[in-house]
Structure 1
């Protein structure tokens, strides 16, 4: 079992990061209506400071794979299209370069999903079995599953070496196998020897509650995590934190619990303003249901008077997830191309495929890119 490091100011200083005081205590405010108000006000206050602290050096996203996902989960049961039980979500890897608070240039990889590892999560194993039993199941699989790039190949495309990466992180660890990223001293089933780390000596930044979840799964969480995904992983490969932290100029990891206890969101400041990325939703329709043309999503907003429509495969705490999505909406700036929409890039985004109509994103950014990713920053 991996021992949690916990958060200390000394540990954060060591990686050039620091805590964000604006959010201290907001997730303990009671009653819940007042907590939502506290979260919103804290996000407004932090945004004013965050935007004055500089921008990231560069950021670029690259598509990894399109994976199947049940429509009923994607929009909290708001959408019902019997002929379309599954849609595709595009997993994207984002590379960010920034200067930490010690003045050290850093390279972070966000969402480096390894499809072979994700396939071992019970949810996807069970889904694969179900598809195999359907007449013409192989055709269904072709419609919803696509592979574009492996994380290691993305580095090569960007002119980077594994040793150029300082940190990697996922917004949460659903269907992720840390062994695939950090390496393992044990032999993974189906392999012939210990797995090497994908990004050299890079550390994985993970919220302490998320790592603890993977160490001790509840039955209601079991299907979404890769059991045994920590086997043989050296404890020092993890850097854990609590609450909200800013890694450096123009980049923060905000604690956004609800989807999972340890969910966190990537927030970056760019020449076009602030962007947010997480899997609390799979399209902008989740955060802005009042603008959605996906059948059922606008009605969900109107009927319940809710500002958001959550991605709801797991509802560890639906009220927390609601508050977290408001936190994200408050931080994100309007899109330059169409100011009606916010600069929120789902870490797994609903694919804009015509064959999924009418469950296609009303608006999609399709990725993010600012500046030039550089090799050997130091």
Structure 2
């Protein structure tokens, strides 16, 4: 089935002015796996044509939140071929998007509103902090790899927005995220004295059903990357769950991109410069376009293994799915206006270009995104 989907929406999509995307129905079930990749690529190309024809978002702006450490061997699937520091840093960016939903209502979405204090409680980062503290010069190491720029709540004021202006928030996946910090909680978070108030007033969190279920019932292989207890005291009605791929309105979609996690999804927006995609399947464009990479070993990784991507591989719940998902993202993204060799893919956490990490620095850096003017009660 192609064209506009007029069938009833699943779950609560109709209530938020969203709808499913028929082009992708069933493609992730195609067998064998080579045929599935071809089906994903074909569906993405077909959807891109319709997606662009439907219109553009009203405005978008990204703001840096924090730079956090990350192991090099995860970042490029052990492809880096020269001795390096074991850790690099990557910057999390909060992206605010304004658009009209399919009922014509003006909406504001916040993508990746990471609260650093919550992320620090994920077992991976908690253990890394303990290790750093035990090392000689541990504080100097931390200063070299960690940097704080903004808190999500402060960003709204900078942009002329109020918490009440936000309709929805979402993360591409819930690794190192604590929903209590965003949605509020009736239970007191450990180390605090009062229940958490919602960060964005009545905003609801859009989350893939498989990702929310993962946080509700963690497998030991997933445990280190999630904040255990992150759902304690959170009102279940604060979540809007969905399956598969959905479009929120003209020019904005959340595409299911499984593999990195079961419920991973990517933000896709249409702008005056064409389509942009954001996810954490990679931490730099080098992951999606290894053939252009100057990071030692990354291009050779792709050439020797016959692969067109080099995944961000801290977890590989299904490495073949992640490969297909990154091809899905590449197919949707348009070429960059400033250098058409590169695609308009903005990692949700992007490898920094700090000289101290050379040669593991991005070959090409987008560094953020901004189109139009955000409008809110504080503008």
8 Å CA contact 1:72–1:80 kept in 2: the answer is no
How big is the shift at 1:350? 0.1
8 Å CA contact 2:183–2:197 kept in 1: the answer is yes
8 Å CA contact 2:173–2:263 kept in 1: the answer is yes
Partner residue, 2:103: 102
Partner residue, 1:3: none
The 1:294–1:83 alpha-carbon spacing in structure 2 relative to 1, beyond 3 Å, is: closer
Q: Kindly indicate whether residue 71 of structure 2 is the aligned counterpart of residue 70 of structure 1.
A: yes
Partner residue, 2:137: 136
8 Å CA contact 1:113–1:151 kept in 2: the answer is yes
CA distance in 1, matches of 2:196, 2:305: 49
Partner residue, 2:217: 216
Partner residue, 1:357: 358
How big is the shift at 1:178? 0.1
CA distance in 1, matches of 2:377, 2:133: 46
8 Å CA contact 1:71–1:80 kept in 2: the answer is no
The 1:117–1:81 alpha-carbon spacing in structure 2 relative to 1, beyond 3 Å, is: farther
8 Å CA contact 2:66–2:147 kept in 1: the answer is yes
How big is the shift at 1:249? 1.1
Partner residue, 1:93: 94
Q: Kindly indicate whether residue 191 of structure 2 is the aligned counterpart of residue 194 of structure 1.
A: no
TM-score by length of 1: 0.97
CA distance in 1, matches of 2:214, 2:57: 31
CA distance in 1, matches of 2:197, 2:357: 38
CA distance in 2, matches of 1:45, 1:149: 39
How big is the shift at 1:82? 3.7
8 Å CA contact 2:182–2:200 kept in 1: the answer is yes
Secondary structure of the corresponding residue to residue 367 of structure 1: coil
Secondary structure of the corresponding residue to residue 69 of structure 2: strand
Instruction: Give structure 1 regions of 4+ aligned residues with deviation exceeding 2 angstroms.
Output: 7-10, 80-83
CA offsets 1:3-27 (integer angstroms, 9 cap, x no match): xxxx943621110000000000000
Partner residue, 1:54: 55
8 Å CA contact 2:11–2:241 kept in 1: the answer is no
Secondary structure of the corresponding residue to residue 53 of structure 2: coil
CA distance in 1, matches of 2:147, 2:317: 29
CA distance in 1, matches of 2:107, 2:353: 33
Partner residue, 2:80: 79
| Structure 2 unaligned regions, length at least 5 | 1-7
The number of equivalent residue pairs is: 371
CA offsets 1:300-355 (integer angstroms, 9 cap, x no match): 01100100000000000000000000000000000000000000000000001011
Partner residue, 1:9: 10
TM-score by length of 2: 0.97
- How do 1:113-262 and structure 2 match up within 5 A? 113-262=114-263
CA offsets 1:250-291 (integer angstroms, 9 cap, x no match): 000000000000000000000000000000000000000000
8 Å CA contact 2:82–2:297 kept in 1: the answer is no
8 Å CA contact 2:9–2:19 kept in 1: the answer is no
CA distance in 1, matches of 2:134, 2:332: 45
How big is the shift at 1:376? 4.0
CA offsets 1:50-75 (integer angstroms, 9 cap, x no match): 00000000000000000000000000
CA distance in 2, matches of 1:129, 1:303: 38
How big is the shift at 1:39? 0.1
8 Å CA contact 2:290–2:310 kept in 1: the answer is yes
8 Å CA contact 2:172–2:264 kept in 1: the answer is yes
Partner residue, 2:279: 278
Secondary structure of the corresponding residue to residue 51 of structure 1: helix
The 1:87–1:10 alpha-carbon spacing in structure 2 relative to 1, beyond 3 Å, is: closer
The 1:75–1:10 alpha-carbon spacing in structure 2 relative to 1, beyond 3 Å, is: closer
**More moved, 302-311 vs 128-137:** 128-137
Secondary structure of the corresponding residue to residue 287 of structure 2: helix
CA distance in 2, matches of 1:29, 1:83: 40
Secondary structure of the corresponding residue to residue 87 of structure 1: strand
Secondary structure of the corresponding residue to residue 62 of structure 1: strand
